[in-house]
Structures are given as structure tokens and as C-alpha cells.
Copies of this chain bind each other. A is one copy, B any other.
Amino acid sequence: MTSAPYASRERSTKERILGAAEALFATHGFAGASLRQVTAAARVNLAAVNYHFGSKDKLIEEVFRRRLDELNTRRLAALAKVAGQEDTSLEDVLDAYIRPALDLSRNDGGGAAFVRVLARAYAEHNETLRKFLSENYGHVLRQFAGEFARLLPGLAKEEIYWRLDIVTGALTYAMADFGVIQRKNDVDERDHRETAAEHLIRFAAAGLRNPSVSTSTATR
């Protein structure tokens, strides 16, 4: 049909591998999911992974690149709509940061799994992965930090990075549905994530607005 060889399968071999890898990495982790599980789920030959991607590590990187590029683009696009304007609120910027991740998690079948994979990446101490994420994620974080600095002139730049770090951690945690609290069975997964995002935005906004204090113990 198109130019793809061995074509006219429902999806190409590379895409099927990426989809299966994403789902299995989310469930069992990078070390816990084997290439035999991945290729079996994708209904492709075992050797296809090393043929199309070179190695398991390269496959992991490709799983990230596919979604992360889109997530970063959406976040920056949402930020561009509100950045620098007078009537922009803190909630608007936080929404630009959180909403794309929420949308990603419910658009197609694989997005929800990727959010969990993203949380894995933070938990894994893999230096290669950390470096890869920092390169693709760092400039987005920097742009958001710049806008937050504009809206929060009372906070030092370093303080903003601190708080943004907490927000990102809480976001990753909430989005990945790693809470101890298990949602009721009659509540849909979408509603669950939507509610989580609403709470998180209000929570984060209140935390970011909190005025900075001098270096002392937090209590008493």
C-alpha cells in the first residue's frame, strides 16, 4: 500500500514493538519486562527488536522520544498562549504544564501507559536515562520557570526551581496513579485523572503562592 515493506499489517513492526514495550515497561519496569514478553505482545519475531532498534536500551530511548516530543510541544504551545500577558494567573501556567500530560494520558491507548513509564524513569536511577530525559525535558522546565518567576516576583529563582520540582514530582505521582488511595470502582479512570489534575493545580498554585521565608525550621 504505502512504501513500507512487509506492509499492510494493521501497524508497522516498529510501531507495534513500541506500543507493546510501552505497556510492558509501565507494568513491569525496564528491567522487569523482557524482550521476549515485548515481542510476544507485539506478535513479532524476537530478533526484530535488535534489527529495528539495535538494542534494548535504544528501544527504551525510542519509547520516550516518541511521546516526549509531543508532550513538550504541547506544553510549550499551551505556555505560549498565556506567557507574558497581564491577565495570566498562576493557575493558567500550571494548567499549561499539567493539562498536556493529562490529555496525553487519555487520548489514545498508549498515552496512559506512557505516563506510568515516565514515572518509572524518575524512579529508575539509570544514568543514561536521566541524562536523556534532562536533555529533552530541561529546556521546557526552564521556560516554565521563567514564566513562574514573572508571576511570582517575590520568589528567588532557586526557590522557584525547588517548588517546581515538588510540583513535577507530585504530578508524576498523581498521574501515574501510584497513590495508596484506590479510587472507587464506579469512578472512571478519566474522571479519576481529571479530578487528580484539578486538585493538583489548586494544590500547586497555593503552594507556589506561599511567600518565601527566611532559612529556619519550618515549624514553630
Residues of A within 8 A of B (CB): 26-29, 31-32, 89, 91-92, 94-95, 116, 119-120, 122-125, 133-134, 137-138, 141, 159, 161-170, 172-174, 176, 178-181, 195-207, 209-210, 213, 217-220
Contacts and interface: CB of A to CB of B under 8 A. Distances in A.
10 contacts: A27-B125, A29-B125, A92-B219, A95-B218, A123-B123, A137-B180, A159-B199, A162-B199, A198-B217, A203-B207
Nearest to A207: B203
Give this chain's copy count. 2
Given A29-B124, A92-B219, A219-B92, A174 B166 contact: yes
Chain B CB within 10 Å, residue with most, of A178, A206, A218, A220 = A218
Contacts of A28: 31, 125
B169 A165 contact: no
Chain A binding surface, main DSSP class: helix
Contact of A29 (B27, B29, B198, B205): B29
Contacts of A207: 202-204, 206-207
Contact of A180 (B134, B181, B200): B134
A32 B56 CA distance: 14
Contacts of A197: 218
Contacts of A174: 165-166, 169
